[in-house]
């Protein structure tokens, strides 16, 4: 199982490739891509950062998908459509989390692959994480499926892991 963030499709910076499809084909895995942004071609971008395509997150698995969907975040500390140029990243779109229910040999597994906002404070990232946890709670209400959250939480030194109680049955977050 892989949760991959910042996948490009057709951007100049990645040679116009569909990078996620190439990875999935090389690993012989099923692939679910969710578009986060249209990366606009712009003279304000350095060549190594040039857009011109799509950018998003994906979940790859050797198992079959039972269901896939996109969780669109309500908490948007940066309006990338209007503020992207101030970060030298002109783009359209907003933060999303791909969600997949996967049929494994040990039962169903619900996977979340978020890419939380970097250009904000920890409280906004916590609010985005709360949106994911509310979705987990809702989706798991009538189910005994396992849940995996793996992605780019942009947490740095103020990570979510320290907020999880040691006595909890929830495993702490691990950011690789």
Round to whole Å and give the CA distance between 84 and 21. Answer: 27
What b/e string do you get for 15-50 counting C-beta neighbours within 10 Å, with b at 16 or more? eeebbbeebbeeeebbbbbbbbbbbbebeebeeeeb
pLDDT tens-digit series, residues 60-111: 999 999 999 999 999 999 999 999 999 999 999 999 999 999 999 999 999 9
Residue 28, C-beta contacts closer than 8 angstroms, at least 6 positions apart: 62
pLDDT at residue 160 greater than cutoff 60: no
Give percent of the chain with pLDDT exceeding 70.
88
CATH superfamily of the 2-163 domain: Endonuclease/exonuclease/phosphatase (3.60.10.10)
Q: What is the pTM of this model?
A: 0.87
Report the share of the chain in percent with pLDDT over 90: 81
| pLDDT recorded at residue 40 | 97
pLDDT at 156: 65
DSSP 18: B
Domains of the chain by residue range: 2-163
Half-sphere exposure of 20 (CA within 13 A, CB side): 24
pLDDT at 171 over 70: no
Is the pLDDT assigned to residue 159 strictly greater than 70?
no
């Amino acid at each position: 199982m892989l949760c991959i963030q910042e996948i490009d499709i057709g951007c100049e910076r990645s040679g116009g490739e569909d990078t996620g499809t190439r990875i999935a084909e090389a690993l012989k895995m099923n692939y679910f891509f969710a578009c986060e942004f249209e990366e606009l071609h712009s003279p304000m971008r350095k060549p190594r950062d040039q857009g011109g395509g799509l950018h998003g997150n994906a979940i790859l698995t050797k198992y079959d998908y039972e269901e896939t969907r996109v969780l669109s975040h309500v908490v948007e500390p940066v309006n990338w459509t209007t503020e992207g140029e101030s970060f030298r990243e002109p783009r359209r779109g907003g933060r999303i989390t791909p969600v997949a229910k996967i049929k494994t040999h040990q039962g169903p597994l619900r996977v979340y692959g978020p890419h939380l906002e970097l250009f904000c404070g920890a409280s906004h990232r916590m609010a985005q994480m709360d949106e994911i946890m509310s979705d987990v709670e809702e989706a798991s209400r009538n189910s005994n499926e396992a849940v995996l959250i793996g992605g780019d939480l942009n947490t740095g030194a103020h990570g979510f892991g320290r907020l999880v109680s040691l006595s909890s049955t929830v495993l702490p977050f691990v950011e690789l």
